[in-house]
């Protein structure tokens, strides 16, 4: 049944793309708008068609993208290439190139097959290159969100979604990474350090490759409810550990080789959408500016119980404990250049775990991002942020035993400064500098510098 489910889901997604009619309606009504996670601006106030000439290198493909979009399919191709180098400290000096390719297909079920409220999503990824953290830095939290334990090419996301209650609720089922919606802040998305995505205490689970996050996803079901524009609630259940060991995490999305399940829930509130903050337009003209504004609380736990890191019972057998945690986050636009999309936003996040089954028992992060730091450069972003991950007593005992010597610290900290510059439509260049304090709790402080090149094709 599991194999049948996976084959049916993939066949349906691919079948939708192959079944797109050549000729489609030329007008897109408000009810037929297709939202995209990959970016794209509205052509005008009544047509939500992305402006590919302004956001990609290849444009509209001679009208093919527009015909696909009108028929219910949006196609995006993105290539990212990072080169980071450890200039001081860590394990040893040196650098590495890391490449990542995304092919994303989004499907409007109503346009394609008359499936009202239905949609689908398919994302294929391909990784290449080396591992700067594994071979040079030795950080517990990592340094680059493209680095993967094993380079792989395959399906990363493949889900179906049904919206209901007048689009105030939706159910999503399929290959689903939880860090696509849970424990994330928009204002930290500019940074390359992986802990500014899903925080390290959730993303890392010892030597096991869990949970369902990049680069390994697993089967999951997610329910989201938006009873009011200012409020939302989400809950998801996913395969807890997609793979037995991190060395096999790349290609493995099977049920048979996974372990247990993960339940995660989040409740969020937007002060700006609730009208608690004065962010009204400064002119009578329509203002499309959307301030960043979110407060959220999340809880998660695994099943079944897992062995504690070092604690044993009287007979020398490992004690078992439930792996669980919680987090709070906040982000808000603090200031805006009048009548523009240039703004300064801040974020704060704190999360903790049970501290018995995971090396990291809590983390804290904070930062600032400035969209459009200079006049005439509204699509650029400057960011500076810091994150600190603390290792619990059992985690420190395990690390010290592996090293064969005492540790020099109880926590690891990273500070990142970056500038994301859009050079031309579809071309982004992003230099970055990081300072890693106490990598691995025993290594010299490291300085990492490099650049990301991103091409929207």
Q: What is the pLDDT of residue 417?
A: 98
249 touches 150 (CB < 8 A): yes
**Is the predicted pLDDT of residue 193 greater than 50, yes or no?**
yes
Rg over alpha carbons for the chain, rounded to the nearest Å, is 22
279 pLDDT band, cuts 50/70/90, is low
pLDDT, tens only, 136-162: 999 999 999 999 888 888 889 999 999
* Distance, CA of 382 to CA of 190 (rounded, Å): 8
329 pLDDT band, cuts 50/70/90, is very high
255 touches 239 (CB < 8 A): yes
144 touches 134 (CB < 8 A): no
Flag the least confident range among 27-36, 99-108, 122-131: 27-36
Q: What is the pLDDT of residue 328?
A: 98
What's the whole-model pTM score?
Answer: 0.85
The DSSP bridge pattern shows strands 381-391 and 427-437 to be unpaired
356 touches 308 (CB < 8 A): yes
Q: What is the pLDDT of residue 307?
A: 86
Q: What is the pLDDT of residue 314?
A: 87
* Distance, CA of 421 to CA of 147 (rounded, Å): 22
211 pLDDT band, cuts 50/70/90, is confident
Position with higher pLDDT, 279 vs 361: 361
Q: What is the pLDDT of residue 443?
A: 95
243 pLDDT band, cuts 50/70/90, is low
**Tokens 């044993």 identify what position?**
312
Q: Which of 42-51, 69-78, 352-361: highest mean pLDDT?
A: 69-78
Distances (CA, A) of 142 to 95, 203, 352: 14, 11, 18
What is the average pLDDT across 406-416? 95
DSSP result, 203-235:
H-BTTBB-SSBTTB--EEEEEEEEEETTEEEEE
What is the average pLDDT across 9-23? 43
Q: What is the pLDDT of residue 65?
A: 92
Position with higher pLDDT, 444 vs 289: 444
pLDDT cut 70: percent of the chain above it: 82
**Is the predicted pLDDT of residue 103 greater than 90, yes or no?**
yes
**Is the predicted pLDDT of residue 186 greater than 60, yes or no?**
yes
Among 56, 80, 76, 153, which residue's Cα sits nearest to residue 121? Answer: 76
What is the average pLDDT across 57-71? 91
């Amino acid at each position: 049944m599991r194999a049948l489910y996976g084959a049916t889901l993939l066949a349906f997604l691919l079948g939708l793309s192959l079944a797109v009619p050549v000729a489609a309606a030329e007008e897109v009504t408000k009810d037929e708008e297709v939202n995209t996670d990959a970016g794209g601006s509205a052509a005008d106030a009544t047509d939500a068609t992305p402006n590919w000439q302004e956001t990609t290198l290849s444009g509209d493909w001679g009208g093919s993208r527009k015909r696909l979009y009108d028929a219910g399919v949006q196609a995006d191709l993105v290539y990212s290439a990072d080169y980071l180098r450890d200039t001081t400290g860590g394990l040893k000096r040196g650098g590495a190139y890391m490449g990542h390719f995304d092919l994303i297909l989004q499907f409007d079920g109503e346009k394609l097959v008359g499936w009202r409220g239905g949609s689908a999503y398919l994302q294929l990824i391909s990784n290449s290159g080396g591992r700067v953290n594994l071979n040079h830095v030795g950080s517990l939290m990592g340094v680059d969100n493209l680095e993967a334990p094993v380079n792989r090419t395959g399906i990363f996301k493949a889900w179906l979604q049904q919206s209901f209650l007048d689009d105030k609720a939706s159910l999503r089922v399929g290959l689903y990474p939880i860090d696509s919606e849970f424990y994330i802040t928009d204002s930290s998305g500019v940074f390359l350090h992986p802990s500014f995505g899903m925080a390290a205490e959730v993303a890392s689970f010892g030597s096991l490759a869990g949970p369902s996050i990049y680069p390994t996803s697993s089967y999951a079901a997610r329910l989201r409810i938006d009873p009011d524009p200012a409020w939302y609630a989400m809950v998801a259940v996913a395969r807890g550990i997609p793979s037995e060991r991190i060395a096999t995490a790349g290609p493995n999305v099977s049920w048979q080789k996974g372990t247990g399940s993960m339940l995660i829930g989040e409740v969020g509130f937007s002060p700006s959408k609730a009208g608690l903050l004065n962010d009204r337009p400064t002119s009578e003209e329509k203002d499309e500016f959307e301030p960043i504004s979110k407060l959220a609380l999340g809880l998660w736990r695994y099943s079944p119980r897992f062995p504690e890191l070092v604690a044993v019972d009287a007979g020398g057998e490992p004690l078992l404990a439930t792996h669980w945690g919680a987090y709070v986050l906040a982000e808000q636009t603090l200031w805006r250049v009048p009548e523009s999309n240039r703004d300064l936003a801040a974020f704060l996040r704190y999360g903790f775990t049970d501290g018995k089954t995971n090396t990291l028992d809590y983390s804290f992060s904070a930062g600032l991002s400035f969209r459009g730091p200079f006049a005439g450069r509204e699509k650029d972003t400057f960011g500076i942020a810091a994150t600190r991950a603390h290792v619990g007593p059992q985690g420190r005992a395990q690390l010290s035993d592996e090293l064969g010597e005492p540790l020099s610290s109880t926590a690891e900290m990273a500070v990142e400064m970056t500038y994301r510059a859009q050079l031309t439509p579809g071309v982004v260049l992003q230099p970055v500098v990081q300072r890693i304090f106490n990598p691995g709790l025993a290594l010299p402080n490291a300085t990492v510098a490099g650049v990301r090149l991103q091409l929207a094709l």
